[in-house]
Structure 1
Amino acid sequence: MPKKAIFTKEQIFKKAFEVFKQNGLEAITARNLAKSLNCSPAPIYSFYTSLEILKKDLINQAKSIFMEYVKESSTEYIFLNIGIGICKFAREEKQLFHTIFLKDSSYSSLVREFRDLIKVEMSKDSRFDKLDEEFKTELFLDCWMYAHGFSTLIATNYFKDVSDSFIQKRLVSGAATMMYKRLEEYNK
């Protein structure tokens, strides 16, 4: 009779996600996971034939959590919602934000996915219809830098106890001012 499994796949994944959040993807090794589960590597390999599969699942979970924040409708303005979403993600998922965006550049595919989402969302806003692609790209980069910088300040506790209204106010005053200046330059 085969030995009964000590852990479920879900328990292993949950522990792996904790390790990933705390220490990054490079910490996902059979030895580290086994140590954190207080077991041998055998249970891990009984559910994951390779750690690369587990790592892909972890990244997909991180993307899913991130995208929930980014797609949340806080206001009637799609573009503003994206900025609010990344700031809320930084506030509520500080460690995951830090691991993905601040630790190293190995998560560039997630950053590209965020970038691509913004471009798709921008195309849904009729105010951007008449703008050429080069200008939209520059505008996106400016807004991305502002939102990413602000969210980094939130994640690193520069701003403490940040409310939703504070996030929205800062994004509107900072990014909107920048956007209007860019649009004025464009329309000259």
Structure 2
Amino acid sequence: MARKKTITRDQILNAAYEVVAKEGFSRFTARNIAAKMKCSTQPIYLEFKNMDELKKVLVKEIITKLSTKMLSKEVTGNKLVDLGINYIEFAIEEKQLYKALYLEGETEIADLEEYSYDYFYHTVIQGTEYEELSKDKLLSLYTGFWIVVSGVAALTSSNIITPTREEIIELLEDSFDMIKTNNRPLDLSFKTLHL
């Protein structure tokens, strides 16, 4: 008679999330995840073909959680500024997870880029004043947006700068207005982004 599974897929994903959120992808190993669940590595390999598959599923779940719970909070009513402030606050509140996803270079960057542009366009741009921008202007806004918010996120999460929420909002509003009205396209295209 076959043994009943006692460790579920969700338990493995939760343990993997804890490892990454606390220690980053450098500690993302079957042994560390199994140790978190107090079991052998066998259940992990029964549920996932390999660690790459587990990582891909985990990153997808983290992205879903980010977009539904953290990045979509209304702060100012301006969806572009709200996305920026939420991203920066995520970097401050979840320092290690932010670092693991965006700074360690361990995640599939193409997946993050595709997700970030889709989220940016469908959640922030559609139905706003920005929707009328040309393709070049929209790409400039997207590129400038990520340069500004990533810089502020990295500096604030490292405690190099400590602006108030109001100061961050003002910085974001000024930066986005400047990018939107600039007549030269900002052409620092992401590696895999094709519109």
TM-score range, shorter chain: 0.7 to 0.9
Give, in angstroms, the shift of residue 150 of structure 1.
1.0
Tell me by how many angstroms 1:185 deviates: 4.1
Q: Which residue in the other structure is 1:124 paired with? A: 127
Corresponding pairs, count: 181
- Greater mean deviation of Cα atoms: 68-77 or 174-183: 174-183
Distance 2:180 2:16 in 1: 46
Q: Deviations over 1:130-166 (max 9, x none)?
A: x322122112222221111111123223356x7xxx3
Name the residue aligned to 2:192. none
Q: In 2, Cα distance between the equivalents of 1:145 and 1:105?
A: 20
Map 1:168-183 onto structure 2 (within 5 A). Answer: 169-183=166-180
Q: Which runs of 5+ in 1 are unaligned?
A: none
Query: How well do the aligned residues superpose, as a CA RMSD in angstroms?
Result: 2.8
Mark the CA change 1:157 to 1:112 in structure 2 (over 3 Å): closer, same or farther. Answer: farther
Paired position in structure 2 for 1:51 = 51
AA partner of residue 46 (structure 1)? L
Which residue does the alignment assign to 2:67? 67
- Structure 1 distance, partners of 2:134, 2:43, is 54
Provide TM-score, normalisation by structure 2: 0.76
* Larger Cα-atom Rg: 1
The 8 Å contact of residues 71 and 86 in structure 2, kept in 1 or not, is answered as yes
Aligned pairs for 1:83-162 (under 5 A) are 83-104=84-105, 106-108=107-109, 109-120=111-122, 121-129=124-132, 131-159=133-161
**TM-score (norm: length of structure 1):** 0.78
Equivalent residue letter for 1:126: E
Q: How many percent identity over aligned positions?
A: 23
